[in-house]
Amino acid sequence: MTVKQANRTGNIKGLINSYFPALTKSEQKVADIVMQQLDQVIYYSVTDLADAAEVGETTVLRFCRKIGLKGYQEFKLAIAKDLANRTGDDSGNAVQNDLFTTISSYTIDAIHETVSMNSEEAINKAIDMIDQASSVHFFGVGTSGLTALDAKNRFLRIGRRVDAVIDPHLQAMTAATLSENDLVVGITVSGSTKDTIDSLKIAKENGAKTIAVTYHARSPITKIADAVLINGGKESPLEGSSLAAKISQLFVIDLLCTGLALKHKQESLEMKEKTAQSVVNKIY
């Protein structure tokens, strides 16, 4: 079976079976996990799958290339297509008749997941890191870039001069200018967004502190972050920009911003009044 055939039919299991004899023993362990846990693997980070198969991340990447795919994200996209063909739904989950209940429940569950996966200690550590930094830069691309821009808006309203950088080239250049007094917050649902991770590495190499906001507690970005905050709302490759994941990211930003505002209550209140007054004439 060719890659084009697999993409057309969405038959990822057939694709894996056709290449299975040519795989190494370690790669076959990855294949076995995928075949057994297809519904779960679609939400795994490359680190999660490597752990489940008890192999290294490089073995997972070799497995993806061995079966004719360019990388891990294309591999997950092939799984998503397969599941969509079976269920008739991009997410791999049958859409319920009651659309309002389904979507609202999914979003509420994502918020609850975010709360359960973050300790008060972790949130307070991140707040202190932001408070102590000379400059704070939110990095994100795509939909996570929009979250970075929202974070800039929120922190600006309480008088904090932060930056949001959503262009990968500008992220890299900004990271190269930072030092030990600066902080970068990298936002990525997958935890595997190459542009964001590469920029955080540059910042880290120059001494800056780093925070990761991601769905996957074990993913490439968490390995280089000084602090990790988890946002709920898993999404498959066909669900990019899912509302639940987006709201969960914004919820984490709200926790950080509100926590910092409470830490400097009077100053934050004064700045909220000043920033609100500055735009009062913009509204009829």
Q: How far apart are CA 195 and CA 169, in angstroms?
A: 9
The residues with which 183 forms a beta bridge, in sequence order, are 136, 209
pTM: 0.77
Please give the torsion angle defined by the CA atoms of residues 172, 42, 143 and 271, in that order, rounded to the nearest 10 degrees: -90
Sign of CA dihedral 197, 200, 205, 211: negative
Torsions phi, psi for 280 (to 5 deg):
-60, -30
> pLDDT confidence of 86, banded at 50, 70, 90?
low
158-192: b or e for each residue (b if 16 or more CB lie within 10 Å)?
bbbebbbbbebeebbebbeebeeebbbbbbbbbbb
- Kindly list the strands in the beta sheet with 227-230, ordered across the sheet, starting from the edge strand earlier in the chain: 162-165, 135-139, 182-187, 209-214, 227-230
> Within a 10 A sphere around the Cβ of 127, how many other Cβ atoms?
20
Q: How far apart are CA 96 and CA 19, in angstroms?
A: 36
pLDDT tens digits along 36-85: 988 888 888 888 899 999 999 999 999 999 998 988 888 988 888 877 77
pLDDT tens digits along 224-237: 999 999 998 776 66
pLDDT tens digits along 92-117: 444 445 778 878 888 898 899 999 98
Please give the torsion angle defined by the CA atoms of residues 10, 236, 222 and 166, in that order, rounded to the nearest 10 degrees: 110
Query: For residue 277, what are the CA distances in angstroms to 150, 163, 170?
Result: 19, 22, 32
Q: How far apart are CA 79 and CA 40, in angstroms?
A: 10
- Average pLDDT of the chain to the nearest whole number: 88
